[in-house]
Structure 1
């Protein structure tokens, strides 16, 4: 099996709150928006983030209605510490809540903040000067 991930799909207890946060607040453009079911966002070449209504997610997977994702963070890397603060402020204005305010990270020489979206999804917003993406899309760490 190839080492690829094409979809990250999260069970979302309140799809309208997610829409308000990502579309209205952060100004993300949905790839597909099916009311009362799922929101898809193209987040990288060949990679889609899905926010799936929790009851529909349970129906699709045959599992009990799952709780919001835990033990997981999604990360957004930016070009400077100032951008970390700006993005964290924007996420708060969009309806998110701060978990870790913008500060130097304990690991890897980064500056970061952690924000929770309205459904409990944790986002790390980070400036990591040692993180690079080549023109071909390969990630490297210095």
Structure 2
């Protein structure tokens, strides 16, 4: 198997709430939206984020998974500077996110904050001066 991820799929108990948050609140455009089932967003070159209705998610896995709560997972969005971190956290909060960690200096030398979407999915908004994301999506760690 190649070292690659094309889809990140997360179960959600309230698909309508996350749709309202991402589409109406943050202004994201879906690539595919199947009401009552799943919504997909292109989040990077070659990478889609799918938010999948929990009941349908469990059915799709043949009942092998019963707990669809989200723990131990953070999606990170890297921005150009501390002001951008503050702005994105404020935008997310205005759209209905719960601020988990207010923006602050980070132990790694950068600046970051965290918010949770209506499903509890935690996002880190980060400025890390030691990381660079090139136009083709390649991440360089200095």
Q: What is the TM-score of this pair, normalised by structure 1? A: 0.95
C-alpha distance in structure 1 between counterparts of 2:3 and 2:130, whole Å:
23
Where do 5+ consecutive residues of structure 2 fail to align? none
Where do 5+ consecutive residues of structure 1 fail to align? none
The total of aligned residue pairs comes to 141
Pairwise mapping of residues 38-49 of structure 1 onto structure 2 (< 5 A)? 38-49=38-49
Paired residues of 1:38 and 1:50 also in contact (CA < 8 A): yes
Q: Once the two structures are superposed, what CA deviation does each residue of 1:29-68 show, in whole Å capped at 9, x if it has no partner?
A: 0000110100100111110000000000000112344332
Aligned to 1:50, what secondary structure does the other structure show?
A: strand
Paired residues of 1:32 and 1:41 also in contact (CA < 8 A): yes
Alignment RMSD, CA only? 1.1
C-alpha distance in structure 2 between counterparts of 1:65 and 1:29, whole Å:
30
C-alpha displacement at 1:133, in angstroms? 2.1
Paired residues of 1:57 and 1:65 also in contact (CA < 8 A): no
Paired residues of 1:11 and 1:66 also in contact (CA < 8 A): no
Q: Find the counterpart in structure 1 of residue 32 from structure 2.
A: 32
C-alpha distance in structure 2 between counterparts of 1:66 and 1:32, whole Å:
25
C-alpha displacement at 1:9, in angstroms? 0.1
Q: What is the TM-score of this pair, normalised by structure 2? A: 0.95
C-alpha distance in structure 2 between counterparts of 1:135 and 1:53, whole Å:
33
